[in-house]
Amino acid sequence: MTIELTLLGWSLVLGLVQVLLPAMARNREAGLAYNAGARDAPAPPPGLVTARLQRAQANLFETLPLFAAAILVAHVAGREGALTQLGAWAFLIGRLAHLPLYAAGVPWLRSLAWTVSLAGLIAVFVAILLPA
């Protein structure tokens, strides 16, 4: 398996982690009985960290499908190389840094981590679109 596909796999694992973290935090806040029930009554608003985890999850899910598609297109088209490897690493490292920075409410560094991940995604796009 290529480095790019391996990093895509780890990005998907990160996606699963980002599904579980806000769900577990919400269980602590609303209670297991509420979450296991029909949720007919409104839940209390999410706490500060839970809301941040939910927003971080939504943020990842905006770009993860694009990243997955780009990596798969690069693989199928035989366009993998130094640029796709760099892009895949930047995407995953940026997303790994983004999660705790978002959860902790750290401004600027969180945006920098997001920018690194976006630059990684763009690098993969460029590798696909450059003439062979």
101-131 residue pLDDT tens: 999 999 999 999 999 999 999 999 999 999 8
- For the domain bounded by 3-129, which CATH number is listed? 1.20.120.550
Residues 6+ apart with CB under 8 A from 95: 11, 14, 60, 113, 117
Structure tokens at 11: 């990005």
Please, are residues 30 and 44 in contact by the beta-carbon 8 Å criterion?
A: yes
Which of the 8 DSSP states describes residue 64?
Answer: H
40-96 residue pLDDT tens: 888 889 999 999 999 999 999 999 999 999 999 999 999 999 999 999 999 999 999
